[in-house]
Amino acid sequence: MLNFIFRRFLQAIPTLLILTILTFALMYMAPGSPFLTEKGMPDEVLANINAKYHLDLPVWEQYLIYLGNLVQGDLGPSFRYLDFSVNDLVWPSLAVSATIGGWALLIAVTLGITMGMVAALHHNKWLDYTLMTTAMAGIVLPTFVMAPLLVLLLSYKVKWLPAGGWHNGDWQYLVLPVFAMATHLIAQIARITRGSLIEVMSSNFIRTAQAKGLPYRTIILRHAFKPMMLPVVSYLGPLFVGVLTGSVIIDVFFGTGGIGQHFVNGAINRDYSMVMGVTVLVGVMYIAFNAVTDIIYAYIDPKIRY
Amino acid sequence: MFFKHKEVAQELAQQLESGVGAIEGRSLWQDAKRRFFRNKAAVLSLFIIGLIILFSIFGSQFAQYSYEEIDWFALSDPVELGRPSIETGHYFGTDKLGRDLYARTVQGSQISLMVGILSSLVAIVIGTLYGAASGFIGGRVDMVMMRIVEILSALPFMFMVIMLMVMFGRQIILIFVAIGAVSWLDMARIVRGQTLSIKNKEYIEAAHACGVSQWRIVVRHVVPNVMGIVLVYASLMIPGMIMFESFISFLGLGVQEPETSWGALISEGVVTMEFALWQLAFPLTFLVITLFCFNFVGDGLRDALDPKER
C-alpha cells in the first residue's frame, strides 16, 4: 500500500510540470505588457521594471526562475498591487475558501449519500420520485442561479440571513454561501448513490445475505455500503472541481473574500501573475486531491491490486 | 394442433417466396427511435427545445426595439415604466439601462445556444476522432495517447479557459474554441472504450481483408458505430456547455457588450432583483428550462440507445 501511495504521488509530478508549463506559456504569449499604461512610460523605467520581474531574460530562464520560486512556495509578485506578493493576497483568502468549501463538501457528501440511499431503498415508490425530482432540480440549477435565488428568498423576503459578507465566519454568514455551493453537489451525489445502491442491492451476495436471514440494517451497512461507495468515491474529483468553481461564484456574489474573488478581480484587472498564481495553486490542490481519491479508491475496491 | 402449425408454416413459406407481407427487419436506429418517442418527458423536452431555438431565431421579428437601443422614456423610471407590458412593447420589460429585455433575451438565447451547440460539436469531433484512433491503433500509441488525456484532465480547465479569455481578449469565437478544445477529454475516453470492443468484430476484419486503409476503417466503420454513445453524451454535454458559458458571462468575463447571453443577463438581473425582479426572472427561466429539457432529452436518448444502462 505504501508503495502504491508513493508511486501515485510520483505520477502526479509530470502533470504538475505540464500545468506550470501551460500556465507559463499562456502568460508569456499573452499580448501586451501588464505595465503598459495609457500615458506610456520612459524606456528606462520600463527596462528597470522588466529587469525587476526578469522579463528581459530568455524564456526558458524565466520559466526556470518561476519554477524555482514555485517549488519554494512563492507564487510571485502581484503585477497590480505592487507592494503585495500573490502569496500575501492569496493565503488569507484560502482560509475563507477552505471553510466554505469544507462545509459544503461535508454537507454535500452526508446529505447526498443519505438522500441517495433513502431513494434507492424506496426504489420506484413516491419517496424515490420526490427525492429524484428534487435532485434533478438541483442538477439543472447552477450555483450562480442558486445563490441569487437563496438570497432573494431568505435575505430579502423573510430577512433571516445576511445577504453577504464574511464577519470572521459567523455561522449566519456561512449558511447561504455553503448551501448555494452544496445544492448542486448534493443532487449529483444523491443520483450517483441511488444508482449505485440499486445495482448493488440486486447482486448475488446481497441475496445470499438475505437468505442467511441477516437483519436488514446489517445487510445495508455491512454488505452493501462499501461497494455502493465506489462510484461515489470516483466522483470526489469532479466534486472538488465543483467546489473550486462554486467558490469563484460564491466569493464574487457574497463578497466573502475567498480565493475566487482574487481570481476574478485578477482576471478583470489583467493581473496575470495573480490569475496564474491562483490557477497553479488550484491545479496543485486538484492534482493532490485526485491522487488521494485514487488511494481511497484502491483501499475500498478489493479488485484493485497494487 | 399439428396441422395448424403446418398451415402457418406453409403460409409463411409462401409469403417468403412471393415476398409479400415479409417481416421487415428493424435497424438499431429505428429501434432507438421507437424507444425514444415512447418517452413522453423526452419528446416534450425536445419540442420545448425546438420552440426555444425558434424563439432565438425568429423572436427578433416580434421585438419592438433592437437589443442595443436605449428607450430613454423607460429609462426615466425603470421600475414603473420599464415593467413588462404589452402596451409599451417591452414584453419582458427593460434592463437597467432602458434596453428592451425581450430583444436582449432573444439575442442572449442565440449566443447561449450557439455556444452550447458549437462548442459541443468541437469537443465531439476532436474527442471522437482521437478516441477512435487511440482505441483502434492500440498498443504503445494508445498508451501514450491515453496518458496525455489523463494528464490533461487533471488540469483545472475552468481556470485555464478564463486565463485564455483574459489574455487574448473576450472574443466569442475564442469561447467556442476554448471550451470545446478542453472538453473533448471525456468524449475521447468514452469513444476509446467503445472502439476497443468494436475493433475485434468480424466486419472490421473483413474490411482489413479487403485492404481498406486504417484511417478509412476508423472513419467509415468505427466512428459510425460509436455514434450512438456519442449522441447520448453530446446531448448531456450541451447543457454543460451552456452552463459553462453562462458561468463565465456571469463573472463578467464572457460575451462583450452590447452582445449578451443568458449568463450575462442573469448577472445583470441579480443586481436589481430587489425592485425589478423581471430582469432576473426572464433570462433565468429560459436558462433553467433549457437545461432541464436537454437533461431530459439526454436521459431519453440514453435509455433509447444504450438499453443496458437502464
pLDDT value for B7: 78
Judge whether A146 and A191 are in contact, CB under 8 Å: no
pLDDT band per the 50, 70, 90 thresholds, residue A38: low
CB contact under 8 Å between B247 and A264, yes or no, is: no
**How far does B176 lie from chain A, in Å, by closest CA?**
18
pLDDT band per the 50, 70, 90 thresholds, residue B309: very low
Judge whether A22 and B160 are in contact, CB under 8 Å: yes
Whether residue B160 lies within 8 A of chain A, CB to CB, comes out as yes
CB contact under 8 Å between A283 and B166, yes or no, is: no
Whether residue B240 lies within 8 A of chain A, CB to CB, comes out as no
How much is the average pLDDT of B134-145? 87
pLDDT value for A190: 94
Residue A119 has pLDDT above 60, yes or no: yes
How many residues are there in chain A? 306
**How far does B226 lie from chain A, in Å, by closest CA?**
24
Q: Which segment of A68-77, A280-289, B160-169 scores lowest on mean pLDDT?
A: B160-169
Q: Which segment of A45-54, B123-132, B228-237 scores lowest on mean pLDDT?
A: A45-54
Residue B58 vs residues A1, A165, A280, B50, B109: alpha-carbon distances, Å: 62, 43, 44, 12, 11
Please give the Cα distance from B69 to B99 (Å, whole number): 6
pLDDT value for A197: 93
DSSP three-state, residue A255: coil
b/e per residue, B72-95, with b = 16+ CB within 10 A?
eebbeebeebbbbeeebebbbbbb
Residue B206 burial by Cβ neighbours in a 10 Å radius (0-12, 13-18, 19+): exposed
How much is the average pLDDT of B27-43? 83
Judge whether B90 and B102 are in contact, CB under 8 Å: yes
> Which residues does chain B have within 8 Å of residue A263's beta carbon, measured at their own beta carbons?
159, 162
CB contact under 8 Å between B155 and A145, yes or no, is: no
- The mean pLDDT value of chain A amounts to 83
Tell whether ipTM is more than 0.90: no
CB contact under 8 Å between A267 and B162, yes or no, is: yes
Judge whether B286 and B113 are in contact, CB under 8 Å: no
Backbone angles phi, psi at B94, to 5 degrees: -120, 165
CA geometry: angle A29, A33, A37, nearest 5 deg: 155
pLDDT band per the 50, 70, 90 thresholds, residue A120: very high
Residue A208 has pLDDT above 60, yes or no: yes
pLDDT value for B4: 66
Q: Which segment of A200-209, B8-17, B255-264 scores lowest on mean pLDDT?
A: B8-17
Residue A188 vs residues A137, A239, B195: alpha-carbon distances, Å: 10, 9, 28
Q: Which three cell numbers stand for residue A205?
A: 451476495
pLDDT band per the 50, 70, 90 thresholds, residue A118: very high
Minimal CA–CA distance to A250: which of A158, A157, A185, A190? A185
Could you say which of A15, A152, A283 has the minimum Cβ distance to residue B273? Answer: A152
Query: Which one has a higher pLDDT value, B104 or B170?
Result: B104
Please give the Cα distance from B35 to B37 (Å, whole number): 6
pLDDT tens, A162-182?
Answer: 777 777 767 778 888 898 889
> Which residues does chain A have within 8 Å of residue B166's beta carbon, measured at their own beta carbons?
30, 266-267, 270, 272, 275
Query: Which one has a higher pLDDT value, B225 or B113?
Result: B113
CA B236 from centre of chain: 6
CB contact under 8 Å between B292 and A282, yes or no, is: no
